[in-house]
Every structure is written in structure tokens, then in C-alpha cells.
Amino acid sequence: MARANFAAALSAVLLHEGGWANNPKDPGGATMKGVTLATYRRYRPGATKEQLRNITDAELQRIYRDGYWDVIRGDDLPAGVDYAVFDFAVNSGPSRAAKFLQRMVGVPQDGKIGPVTLSAVRAANPEAIIRNLCNQRQAWLQTLSTFATFGKGWTRRVSEVKAKALAMAAEPIRQPDDPGVDTPTERPKVNWPAIIELLPENGTLT
């Protein structure tokens, strides 16, 4: 599992989230580095927009880990899948991201990633999960009324997330407890067949 991926995944997410934004067409309202004022106030009650604009790195890491990464069980997901689900959760909510992941692996869609979901994910081909998840995320975004305004950026984001997630999934796994090792180990062999692409490349959600 990808227990060391949080820092890399957060860095990639922040590249897409950018800095300060307060677009009246954005239902999230005032946002700094992907954190809305409403979200920030859950960690810092009564915070102002100016305080949000000056959010610290420590606050950012706490909010993203507690509110997103840990909720989608990032430490327990395969490399690449963790980042794809994490970015989706940040952009559209952890519950929605979890339901899409559950749809990909054929388990009940309750929006909570637990032992059943994790078992199904581990038995599946991570590259297939990433492709299907990103394809269906894009299909869903295209149904939103705000797609005309934000669709170009969303489309670029999903495309870049898919490419990076696939690259992360293809990286060899290094020995645990030895971060300085130079020779990577092979990815463990899975006895189950690779997951069948459950959904069409450009299908729509039902």
C-alpha cells in the first residue's frame, strides 16, 4: 500500500487548486488552495476571508489529511488509485469519490470505504480502476450546469490526474522501513484476473 504517498498526492492536488479564488459562479465561494471558507471555519471557527488567504502549510496539511485523505483511506489504497480518489474527493467530496470507486469494483455504493471496498480494490487491476474512475468522473462533470463555466479546467485536471495516477501505479514498490533503498522490489503478483473494464470509455452514469 502507498503509505508514503500523501505528500506527493497533496502536492499534485495543490497544483490544480491554485491560490486565492472568489468566483461568484463557484458554489464553493471564497477558496484558498482548494480550501473553502466554510471548510476552514470547521478547523478555525469564525475565520475571516483574510485569514483564509493566509492559511498556513500546517493547516493545509491537517485539513487535507483529516478531511479527505484519511476519509478515503488513502494509506490503504494502491499507489495511483490513492491519488485519483483523493483528487476526486477534494474536487467533488469524499462520499462521491468513494461511491465512484465502489462502482468501479462492484461493491455497494454507500460512500464509505471500508474492508469490503478495500478487499475488492486490492483484488483488482489498479490501472483499470484509475482509467474507469477518471473516465466516469469526467462523464459526470459534463452533466453539471457549471460545466460551461469550469469545464475546460475540469477536463484538463482529470486528464492530468489520470496520467499521473497511472504513472504512480506503474512505479515499483520499494521495501518498507527502508526509504533509502536503491533497488526496488517487484510489485506483488495477484492471483485474481485483472478487473474487467466495467464501464464504457465514455459512458454516462445511471
Q: Which residues pair with 191 in a beta bridge?
A: none
Query: For residues 185 and 173, is the Cβ–Cβ distance under 8 A?
Result: yes
Q: Where are the domains of the chain?
A: 6-170
Higher-confidence position of 18 and 66: 66
- Cβ count near 119 (within 10 Å): 12
CA atoms of 189 and 195, how far apart (whole Å): 14
DSSP conformation letters of 53-88: HT--HHHHHHHHIIIIITTTTGGGSPTTHHHHHHHH
Instruction: Report yes or no: 96 and 111 within 8 Å, Cβ to Cβ.
Output: yes
Residue-level pLDDT at 188: 41
Residue-wise pLDDT tens digits, 121-179 = 999 999 999 999 999 999 999 999 999 998 999 999 999 999 999 999 998 765 445 44
CATH number for 6-170: choose from 1.10.3720.10, 3.30.2310.20, 1.20.141.10, 1.20.1260.10.
1.20.141.10
Q: Which of 190, 81, 187 is nearest to 128 (CA)?
A: 81
Rounded CA-CA distance 180/154 in Å is: 37
CA 135 from centroid of its chain's CA atoms: 14
* Top mean-pLDDT range of 2-6, 20-24, 145-149, 201-205: 145-149
Does the pLDDT at position 114 exceed 80? yes
Residue-wise pLDDT for 6-16, tens only, equals 999 999 999 99
pTM of the predicted model as reported, rounded to 2 decimal places: 0.78
Angle at 42 between CA 29 and CA 76, to 5 degrees: 100
Please tell me the distance from the alpha carbon of residue 144 to that of residue 7, in angstroms, as a whole number.
Answer: 30
Alpha carbon distance 90, 93 (integer Å): 6
Q: How many CA atoms does the CB half-sphere of 168 hold within 13 Å?
A: 27
Of 190, 203, 201, whose CA–CA distance to 120 is shortest?
Answer: 190
**CA nearest 197: which of 119, 132, 109?**
132
